[in-house]
Structure 1
């Protein structure tokens, strides 16, 4: 179940008491208190005191290998990217202090949208202040009251929130189940607007969607298709355009959503499309119109990074080798993984429960390795998992060092 599908229980209010608006968070409070009472370090409050490179940082006073940052292509310290940001900061100042439809469009905003159009070979590109806002804005604007959204049950929270904001009828289907998706589409009233939302790579388990088959079914029923490629841009596909490119459905997808906070190495979100009426969204999309635009330094780093990713074939090849090595190595050690084979730069290690997952996380941080601890309700099927996000800048030696850390920590905690 996606984090976007979870609705907290209503607070229990005693007669005569003032309603406590925080009561709905009591289960989360109890979970956190129970976790900390067991003596483990808080896995959700880690501070990076100094970042040394895309793969190393100082955490808790010691040098730590980073395996949970989504910095897939390692662009955060690229010299050209950093220099572009410095120059834009000097030339244009620290911020725009306005929205894109008022004073918030600088030359850099046009440049980064040009870079996106070039990268994806599409007619239109629209940049948002975050990837969350890109989903929130595009989905809520194009699918509204009386329309139907058919989406994977494991969709990201930003997708679910975009559906809710737009007030469309929401029709979820079982994760990656083509037959279930078709059944939902078949039941939608004739003549209703239909939008199918999929993700190229699902961020919790790192598995990919069967996009070729799913897009074909969507088009059979006259639905528009939106694919979130946040976790595959720059890495998957011959040109790094994502699973849509790998599956050969670039021309059949209506909208591609992405983010700058993963492979691009900065912050921001975007949508690219070939729809002839796309540009009108700049005037009717509320999360675009009513928020400040990205700072000039950010869009300068993004456009430089995107153009460098166009020539990133060697980095993509090395990242694939890292992913395959880590996946197979963890499997050989006896860990339960989220996928049978390496499908993306994400390798999910399934834990027996939250307590032992937190213990494993702490054992790894003490080894000098940072990974993400993911827990329900954010994870599918109430799983607790350690999510590893590989980087193209991880060396082959580092990946083998990581495997040694997992082996020692896994044995110490009793996971393997």
Structure 2
């Protein structure tokens, strides 16, 4: 292998991260960002490094990845429509299944319009960059997901961030925007790193006071928060005041893809003007078939939602009792963040848990807020009560071994 050149090039800006990664691996820790699952046994178990492992680091909140009806729908679509569409939705890429999944979304959210993208990232990228452009203003939470920030940059609007979940700070930003300018407020239902929720009802009321449109990303709440699983906006009784709901199929739905639902009467023009929708291949028939089947089953998922909340309360309470510092004072979602003192001990804790037979996510800056290192636990409705108790035992042993508790 040729030694890396000392001459600066386009990769030089990554040198600090490269050195940090090399130092971490040199300490003997397994690469926490390159785990291979050799076999997935169920929504909650897999074979990792040759041993059976409990999965607590996926976004498979409702456990739909192995639902028999969902799998059969995908197999049937493969047989009847082939492996892919080889085209954009506006050309040859709209099959019967794409319309079916959009109909399922409209029914799920009780909204007039639904538009499906190839990923959740593309949904944010496409909708935000298309509706807010040069001369418009986007007011958004500083902890917004990377796809939201990238959508803002692509659209060339004025970006005005405010302190996380701070209603007063958001209003101050809105107050300063010139009268008559186009305004879009972007919020998330559940923030994916700490698992905390937004005070959407109050924030949306402020946004409407200043005649701003509102986009809410419900990626991490769809399926299990709210009476019908429509997310935090439904739970807080303000869904009808949201102009655009963004979501993904890669969390509770259990497959891949993204979407936007809306009641705006002009929404359908987005299919002709949204570049990340127009200029990319549509989802394969098997993927939209699994998504449509999953979404329709989630409409009747009350028992699963209840069990997932039970799991969240049990794990949050148990970890708190063991002495771990958590990202929220009480369980607010299916995400529970366990804060670590630094990256080195966070990586050591991650590896100790993996050796116990538990997989979680090691999250580090810049993905995390305020320079935190944390272990992110994502619960599933298919985790049994016994598995949650086993998980608590694993955290206790690993925490003592590493010196975190």
* Length-normalised TM-score, structure 1: 0.96
Partner of 1:11: none
Partner of 1:3: none
Matches within 5 A, 1:149-160: 149-160=138-149
Q: CA deviation at 1:18?
A: 6.4
SS at match of 2:211: coil
Return the match for 1:139 from 121, 124, 128.
128
1:399 equivalenced with 2:388 (yes/no):
yes
Encode CA deviations 1:258-300: one digit per residue, 9 max, x unaligned: 0000000000000000000000000000000000000000000
Q: Structure 2 CA distance, aligned partners of 1:331 and 1:278?
A: 45
Q: Structure 2 CA distance, aligned partners of 1:152 and 1:323?
A: 25
Q: Structure 1 CA distance, aligned partners of 2:7 and 2:158?
A: 35
Return the match for 1:341 from 324, 330, 351.
330
Matches within 5 A, 1:25-40: 25-40=14-29
SS at match of 1:116: helix
Aligned residues: 401
Partner of 2:278: 289
Return the match for 2:96 from 81, 85, 107.
107
SS at match of 1:119: helix
Is there any run of 5+ residues in structure 2 with no aligned partner, and where?
Answer: none
SS at match of 1:49: strand
Partner of 1:215: 204
Matches within 5 A, 1:14-413: 19-413=8-402
Q: CA deviation at 1:27?
A: 1.1
Is there any run of 5+ residues in structure 1 with no aligned partner, and where?
Answer: 1-13
Q: Structure 2 CA distance, aligned partners of 1:87 and 1:378?
A: 38
Q: CA deviation at 1:19?
A: 4.8
Encode CA deviations 1:25-83: one digit per residue, 9 max, x unaligned: 11110110010011111100100000000000000000000000000000000000000
Q: Structure 1 CA distance, aligned partners of 2:281 and 2:231?
A: 28
Q: Structure 2 CA distance, aligned partners of 1:209 and 1:325?
A: 22
* Length-normalised TM-score, structure 2: 0.98
Q: CA deviation at 1:377?
A: 1.0
